[in-house]
């Protein structure tokens, strides 16, 4: 089957690859390369324990095995390294938090995912962690930019990739799937959905002789990239959607980093992007309510790396075989918008 995909961010790339290579569809990607994208600034972290309450993430037991297989296949096929497993170390903020997590660590639902650590020798003095902390296993990061470049080159090679500044007119029988990220919130077709996009800043910093064995996650994360370069992030703004970094956001990151990093660092750069997030924090999958053959695959918020491979498969089965979608991701789902 022939399918047109609008947008080649992380989400459009994952869907295009899934439809082309697993479901043997004839794909054509139309991408506007002049737009600023969320994927190009994403840290690429995947983590089964997330949120303020550090709970097991939605569908963790289904999406993570799927995600590992998906990226492993890309690595093998193109002989590249894109997925870097790295435990997340989360220092406890207080004795109460330590007691709380001591209890949770014996809970069967968390046993395979976390372990409690009193002190990590290699980061002993470089960050403050007087109450110890816990390690989240099965976490790490995707090299998003290398993944995007690889998928783009693959579709260019197949002559199935086109740079556009305007979406072409399609025949009404042609299937079109919109993967426009936060730009969809401005598209008259998809404006009706309850978008809650947010902007985030992320810093590049150089920290000499700091551990590269963990992603540290306190009030901000410190994630190793290469040599002595780390990413520090990230912020959330709900009113400023300009394309330049928000100065308050930058100061917030610096302030939080200074509050627990005890060694010097150099600020090397600042980036920002708009996360395509929605009320209810579940992605949107499905066909437009009135326009046939016109679909959306979007709303992955801050979890596209881990959620999109699983849902690309759900989307493929829905579009090609009319299999029902999970209620939580349907466009007409009943949530308190």
Ligand X SMILES: Cc1cc2nc3c(=O)[nH]c(=O)nc-3n(C[C@H](O)[C@H](O)[C@H](O)COP(=O)(O)OP(=O)(O)OC[C@H]3O[C@@H](n4cnc5c(N)ncnc54)[C@H](O)[C@@H]3O)c2cc1C
Q: Note the residues at the interface with ligand X (CB under 6 A).
A: 6-12, 30-32, 35, 37-39, 41-45, 164, 167, 179-183, 200, 202, 233-234, 273, 275-276, 298, 300-305
The pair of structure tokens assigned to 326 is 């999970």
| 184: three-class secondary structure by DSSP | helix
Nearer to ligand X by C-beta: 213 or 243?
243
Q: From the CB of 82, what's the least distance to ligand X, in Å?
A: 13
Nearer to ligand X by C-beta: 86 or 234?
234
Q: Which single residue brings its beta carbon nearest to ligand X?
A: 9
- Whether 276 contacts 182, CB under 8 Å: yes
Helix 304-321 to helix 60-78 angle, to the nearest 10 degrees?
Answer: 90
Nearer to ligand X by C-beta: 10 or 207?
10
Q: From the CB of 95, what's the least distance to ligand X, in Å?
A: 30
Q: Where are the beta strands (DSSP E) in the chain?
A: 2-6, 26-31, 45-46, 49-50, 55-56, 83-85, 88-91, 114-117, 133-136, 140-142, 161-163, 175-178, 198-206, 215-217, 221-226, 229-233, 266-275, 284-287, 294-298
Nearer to ligand X by C-beta: 60 or 304?
304
- Whether 83 contacts 140, CB under 8 Å: yes
Q: Show the CA angle centred on residue 145, arms to residues 144 and 150, nearest 5°.
A: 100
Q: From the CB of 266, what's the least distance to ligand X, in Å?
A: 20
Q: From the CB of 94, what's the least distance to ligand X, in Å?
A: 26
CA distance 202 to 180: 21
Q: From the CB of 99, what's the least distance to ligand X, in Å?
A: 29
End-to-end Cα, the chain, rounded Å: 35
CA distance 147 to 162: 18
Nearer to ligand X by C-beta: 10 or 136?
10
CA distance 275 to 292: 27
Q: From the CB of 44, what's the least distance to ligand X, in Å?
A: 5
Nearer to ligand X by C-beta: 104 or 287?
287
């Amino acid at each position: 089957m022939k399918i047109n995909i609008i947008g080649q961010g992380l989400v459009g790339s994952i869907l295009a690859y899934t439809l082309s290579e697993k479901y043997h569809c004839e794909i054509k990607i139309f991408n506007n390369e002049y737009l600023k994208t969320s994927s190009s600034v994403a840290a690429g972290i995947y983590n089964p324990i997330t949120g303020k309450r550090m709970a097991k993430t939605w569908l963790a037991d289904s999406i993570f095995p799927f995600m590992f297989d998906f990226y492993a296949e890309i690595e093998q096929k193109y002989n590249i390294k894109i997925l870097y497993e790295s435990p997340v170390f989360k220092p406890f903020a207080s004795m109460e938090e330590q007691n709380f997590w001591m209890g949770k660590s014996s809970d069967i639902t968390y046993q395979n995912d976390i372990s409690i650590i009193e002190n990590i020798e290699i980061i002993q003095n470089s960050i403050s962690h007087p109450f110890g902390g816990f390690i989240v296993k099965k976490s790490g990061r995707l090299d998003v930019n290398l993944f995007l470049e690889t998928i783009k080159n693959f579709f260019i090679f197949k002559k199935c990739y086109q740079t556009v500044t305007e979406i072409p007119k399609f025949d009404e029988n042609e299937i079109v799937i919109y993967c426009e990220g936060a730009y969809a919130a401005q598209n008259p077709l998809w404006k009706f959905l309850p978008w809650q996009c947010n902007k985030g800043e992320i810093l590049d910093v150089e920290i000499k002789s700091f551990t590269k064995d963990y992603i540290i996650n306190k009030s901000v994360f410190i994630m190793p990239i290469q040599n002595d370069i780390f990413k520090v992030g990230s912020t959330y703004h709900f009113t400023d959607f300009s394309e330049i970094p928000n100065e308050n956001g930058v100061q917030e990151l610096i302030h939080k980093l200074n509050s627990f990093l005890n060694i010097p660092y150099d600020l090397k750069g600042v980036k920002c992007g708009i996360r395509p997030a929605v009320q209810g924090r579940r992605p949107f999958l499905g066909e437009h309510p009135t326009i046939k053959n016109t679909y959306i695959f979007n709303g992955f918020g801050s979890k596209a790396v881990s959620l999109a491979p699983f849902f690309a498969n759900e989307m493929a089965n829905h579009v090609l075989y009319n299999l029902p979608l999970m209620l939580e991701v349907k466009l007409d789902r009943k949530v308190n918008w």
